Structure 1
Amino acid sequence: MSLTLMYITNNPEIARIAENAGVDRIFIDLETVGKEERQHNMDTVKSFHSISDIGEVKTVLTKAELLVRINKIYPGSENEINKVIEQGADVVMLPYFKTVEEVKRFLDIIAGRVKTTLLLETPEAVELLDEILGLDGIDEVHIGLNDLHLGYHRKFMFELLADGTVEKICSKLKLSNKKYGFGGIAALGGGALPAERIIREHYRLDSTMAILSRSFCNAEKITDCKEIQQIFEKGIAEIRKFEQEVFEKKKLGKKEYFEQNQREIKRIVDEIAGEK
């Protein structure tokens, strides 16, 4: 078992480097509708990717899947989704939905042509999760901590990991037999909440997907492709090696190992939230 690692980029060269280093999915982000208003003044990734980027990135990939996050459901959704699929998306992600009807609309337009991922990032969607999971055509669910923590009026996105919110959601997703994941991770040793702590939680909760955060490799600041390649090769190899260690603990039923990690996550998160 290993996490499906995703990296956000519309640069074909960086996509190729990431794939060669072992990234499982390249993530193109078309979401702009309402995002600036929701995340105003937050240090979050706001991409300016375009539909034309999909085909350009798709042509360089040989193993990695291409995931495209579209806009939330709006009058132009059908046209946007059709173009995204025509350009070569393997997986299409629906963000920021609040109703069962929005998810139905998304699934109706997709009509089984590609894999689907729901980005669960509103309290309204969490409340309706049982009904949503009863719909046909959902392949995966990713818990989006950036917007979800705002929706719950929390100060720090990983408060939802520390307070059991993510665990409750994961329990429902596990029962539905759908693939699921949450949040993002930095390189080992990095992140306000260290990546090692988060990876252990992924394994404890049987999560199988994570986004590599901007801090893993900030390609806006690093322009030397050789340096980017070194970052990816070293970073992914270290994550995979660490995952193997965690997997062995899980296989051996080392419950205290994961419980101690939970306690440490709560301590770190409480400390960070208290400073905000």
Structure 2
Amino acid sequence: MTIQLMFITNDADIAKEAEASGVDRIFIDLEKIGKWERQGHLDTVLSSHSMSDISTVRAKIEKCELLVRINPVHEHTASEIDEAIDRGADVLMLPMFTTAEEVAYFVARVGGRAKTCLLLETPQALVRINEILDIKGIDEVHLGLNDLYLGMKLDFMFELISCGVVDFACRMLKARGIKYGFGGIAKIGKGVVPAEMILAEHYRLGSEMVILSRSFHNRAVNLEELRQRVDFGQEVRKIRERENAIRQWSSSEMNSNFNKIKSLVQEHCRCLRREKWELNEYINL
């Protein structure tokens, strides 16, 4: 088994390039409600994708599944779901839910016309995970580390891995037989916690999917720019080669990797807190 790679783009030519490079899912992001309020102060990419992009990308790709993240439950959720499915979405993702009632509504409205994927990214949803997972019709769950760490007011999103929160959620999902994944992954060799170490955590925890981070496109807005900035196929091959090596690891090697991640995360968080303390001392002078 290899991990399912998901890539966020609304450009049909880039989607086709990603498909040819071995990406498994193209991810169109329609979520806008509340996004700026949560992440506008961060160095994150806020989506400008639209419903029409679903049709455009759908017409271009052949093998990849097409996943569409809709908005959190609101007054127009029903029409969003219907239009996304009509335009060709294979998988619908619900973000920022906090209750079982929201999830039940989402699953019922999809009604088996597409796969349902929950983006578990709020502290409330994590606390209520058992009640939520009792709902029939959930096909898969992705743990959204970015909004979850913000919601928990942590210093760094990979604290969720190092402190065992991701372990806990994965155990709950595995016990229910629900497919799951978590977070995103940078290019091999990149990241505060190197991507290859995070990739090994996916195998230790039984994860089946991950989102390729923006380092795979470096903010390219068209295919020409993408090819100038990234050798997409080569970067995907690096992931697959690393997966082949990780699959041969013993449990002790997996645990050693996890312990290294904990050390890196703890040191990074100490640095972040030290910077905050120094800034506060400067402001209070």
TM-score range, shorter chain: over 0.9
Counterparts of 1:88 and 1:218, CA distance in 2: 27
Q: Does the 8 A contact of 2:25 with 2:64 survive in 1?
A: yes
Q: Does the 8 A contact of 2:218 with 2:226 survive in 1?
A: no
Query: How high is the sequence identity, in percent, across the aligned residues?
Result: 49
Instruction: Name the counterpart of 2:9.
Output: 9
- Residue 191 (structure 1) shift: 1.4
Q: Does the 8 A contact of 1:146 with 1:157 survive in 2?
A: yes
Q: Deviations over 1:90-132 (max 9, x none)?
A: 0000000001110011011101100010000001001111111
Instruction: Name the counterpart of 1:140.
Output: 140
Q: Deviations over 1:24-47 (max 9, x none)?
A: 000000000001101131112211
Residues 1:78 and 2:93 aligned together: no
- Residue 231 (structure 1) shift: 1.7
Q: Which amino acid aligns with 1:44?
A: T
Counterparts of 2:64 and 2:228, CA distance in 1: 18
TM-score of the superposition, structure 1-length normalised?
A: 0.96
Instruction: Name the counterpart of 1:63.
Output: 63
Unaligned runs of 5+ in 2: 273-285
Instruction: Name the counterpart of 1:201.
Output: 201
SS in 2 for 1:67: strand
* Paired residue total: 272
Unaligned runs of 5+ in 1: none
Query: Superposition pairs for residues 22-41 of structure 1, below 5 Å?
Result: 22-41=22-41
Aligned-CA RMSD value:
1.4
Which of these two proteins has the greater Rg computed from alpha carbons? 2
- Residue 221 (structure 1) shift: 6.8
- Residue 216 (structure 1) shift: 2.4
Query: Superposition pairs for residues 27-176 of structure 1, below 5 Å?
Result: 27-176=27-176
Q: Does the 8 A contact of 2:217 with 2:229 survive in 1?
A: no
- Residue 57 (structure 1) shift: 0.2
Instruction: Name the counterpart of 1:271.
Output: 267
Counterparts of 1:60 and 1:225, CA distance in 2: 19
Q: Does the 8 A contact of 1:70 with 1:92 survive in 2?
A: yes
Within the candidate set 226, 246, 253, 1:257 is matched to 253
Instruction: Name the counterpart of 1:238.
Output: 238
Residues 1:184 and 2:154 aligned together: no
SS in 1 for 2:89: coil
Q: Which amino acid aligns with 1:255?
A: S
SS in 1 for 2:215: coil
Instruction: Name the counterpart of 1:213.
Output: 213
- Cα 1:271/1:226, change in 2 over 3 Å: closer
- Cα 1:99/1:237, change in 2 over 3 Å: same
Q: Does the 8 A contact of 1:14 with 1:225 survive in 2?
A: no
- Residue 217 (structure 1) shift: 2.2
Instruction: Name the counterpart of 1:247.
Output: 247
SS in 2 for 1:26: strand
